[in-house]
A and B are shown apart, each in its own frame.
Chain A
Amino acid sequence: MKLIFAGILAGLMATTAAKADEMVFTSWGGTTQEAQTKSWAEPFAASSGIKVLQDGPTDYGKLKAMVDAKNVTWDVVDVEMDFAIKAAKDGLLEPIDFAVVPKADLDPRFSNEHAVGSFYYSFVLAWNKGAVSGEPASWADMFDTKKFPGKRTFYKWSAPGVIEIALLADGVPADKLYPLDLERAFKKLDTIKSDIVWWGGGAESQQLIASGEAAFGQLWNGRVFALEKEGADVGVSWNQNLTAADVLVVPKGAKNKDAAMKFLAAAASPTGQAKFAEASGYAPINTKAKAEMPADVVKGLPDAHVDGQINLDMNYWAEHRDEIATRWYAWQAK
């Protein structure tokens, strides 16, 4: 019995001692986190001697619970930008130490005082070539059931994307999207409601398009990239591609804040960003990263499609999250 206690005690002391050169990185799992581990965590551990433990998937409820309970076990977390803005306002995040994380080359669209861009992605229009005759060219075509019959798939949750797509399809100019005219957007969505199949996660979106269950869809570009790599017969239109970002944040009260800041510096560096972009098909948030990437990779990224690219307004969404969500679910449930 004594021996067991001694063993447990020694174990506890060992973990406490090891804490100084350990940190926990949390992301969404799957291929994204794998790419982050390979591109950031492993090289960072090798160069700094700080061991990076992985956890996931990201769960905003859990993050809030940790901060509220003052028992934060995550040091760096990959979250969506609009969440980061709201979380910073609610006091859930540590400010970024820009003395450690060089700010100069970071794309200002995707970083702020409490968040450093992780990667950015675009919502693109993708379709199953076998299920569609012709080539849909714009979001307006997604709403034209006469010209393009078949089911279309959109992101199920209240998040930046679908509202903007409906407004663009209805003829709202890109620079007049905000403040969002919800009335008009839902009216437009009403016109195709019975033709919509919703996807709740990336894998589901791929399954729907690849099987032809939905002829078209609003997909994350990285998911289309993966479908193409697997040889699925998909078409993609970058016309009016909508950008949004994931960002890395440090929860308030993180135990290894110093290590976390150093990790952020490595993740946001040109090399870290270039490697991750190459592995995932998502775009780097460091403006110097492109120079370190093969030309054919750059071609496939949202970076290569800045013409007609539209930035989803994360500040607007962070501000109006609850209000939009209420309307969104009410409309969906109707």
Chain B
Amino acid sequence: MSVEARQGIAITRVPAGLGGLVPALALIGLFFVVPVLALLLRSVTDPAPGLQNYAALLGDGTYARVFFNTFLVALVVTIVTVLVAFPVAWMLAIMPPALASILFGIIILSMWTNLLTRTYAWMVLLQRTGVINRALMAVGIIDQPLPLINNLTGVTIGMVYIMLPFMILPLVGSLRAIDPMTLRAAALCGASPLAAFRRILLPLSLPGIAAGGLMVFVMSLGYFVTPALLGGTSNMMLAEMIAQMIQSLLNWGLGSAAAFILLIVTMALYALQLRLVGAKRTAGGV
């Protein structure tokens, strides 16, 4: 049977009912629902049936701290990413297309470069004997190396850099959709550039910020390589702790419980955001 013929069948079947969705649902079930259920099951049965893994995670100050760190890092990274990405995205949106496509190329190229390589590059730049500290000391701005690595600063710099494309791309989309005439109209009506930004550009670009922000936040929650290499032990994130539990300590019950809590919290945040942004967008539309 040819591919076209099969597609033809699928197309004719979908309107008749949900039959066409069966393969997709089966795939999602097999590769997403089943593993998540297995994870949940393990978290309440390993090493013994009961909720002791959750009790251990929620009752212990260390784990609570790691959870807190994880969300703190993700939040800081998301905020800084928005602040850095916005001007870049605005520039891309108003640039002549030919120039913009070159800039896009550069951004995409950085995404395609190996993550580990980019993280190591930041290590070389940020360390005490690194390029940045040496340059600053050479010109006499500082006389002691700045602590840029093995702390929250290092993690934030490294992760913001890696997350930027995920914020810029949706943001450019929503900025390009804004009619430039609205800004001109605002100026004609006497709005200062700041007022025009605050009352027109920002509200209209909110869907892009929300989409990019959610993506960056959720990706940051599960990030592993960059925080492990650029962070210190006092800002260990959950992914690193889970890896440690699963790979080294073979404490799968505890690791599963931690992973499950992360999943639930992420999904709750997602639902909350859909609600808030969804509601706001509808209101804005009306």
Residues of A that sit less than 8 Å from B by CB = 59-61, 64, 83, 86, 90, 151, 156-158, 197-198, 200, 204, 207, 211-213, 321-322, 325-326, 329-330, 332-334
A330:B249 contact, CB within 8 angstroms = no
Residues of B that sit less than 8 Å from A by CB = 60-62, 65-66, 69, 123, 127-129, 150, 228-229, 232-234, 236, 241, 244, 246-252
The DSSP consensus for interface residues of chain A is helix
CB distance from B241 to the nearest CB of A (A): 7
CB distance from A50 to the nearest CB of B (A): 29
A326:B129 contact, CB within 8 angstroms = no
A61:B66 contact, CB within 8 angstroms = no
A61:B127 contact, CB within 8 angstroms = no
Known: A59-B247, A61-B252, A332-B233. 16 other contacts (CB 8 A): A64-B250, A90-B250, A151-B128, A157-B244, A157-B248, A197-B150, A204-B229, A211-B129, A212-B129, A322-B249, A329-B244, A330-B60, A330-B62, A333-B62, A333-B66, A333-B233
With a cutoff of 8 Å between Cβ atoms, the chain A residues found around residue B60 in the complex are 326, 330
Known contacts: A157-B244, A213-B129, A329-B241. The answer to whether A334 contacts B250 by CB under 8 A is no
With a cutoff of 8 Å between Cβ atoms, the chain A residues found around residue B236 in the complex are 329, 332-333
With a cutoff of 8 Å between Cβ atoms, the chain A residues found around residue B61 in the complex are 330
CA distance A156 to B60 in the complex (A): 21
With a cutoff of 8 Å between Cβ atoms, the chain B residues found around residue A321 in the complex are 249
Closest to A151 in B: B128
Pick from A198, A207, A326: contact of B62, CB below 8 A.
A326
* Contacts A/B (CB < 8 Å), 27 sampled: A60-B248, A61-B246, A64-B250, A83-B248, A90-B250, A151-B128, A157-B248, A158-B248, A197-B150, A198-B232, A200-B228, A200-B229, A204-B229, A207-B123, A211-B127, A213-B128, A213-B129, A321-B249, A322-B249, A322-B251, A326-B60, A329-B244, A330-B60, A332-B236, A333-B66, A333-B234, A334-B234
CB distance from B182 to the nearest CB of A (A): 49
Closest to B66 in A: A333
Pick from A59, A200, A325, A332: contact of B249, CB below 8 A.
A325
Known contacts: A200-B228, A321-B249, A325-B249. The answer to whether A156 contacts B129 by CB under 8 A is no
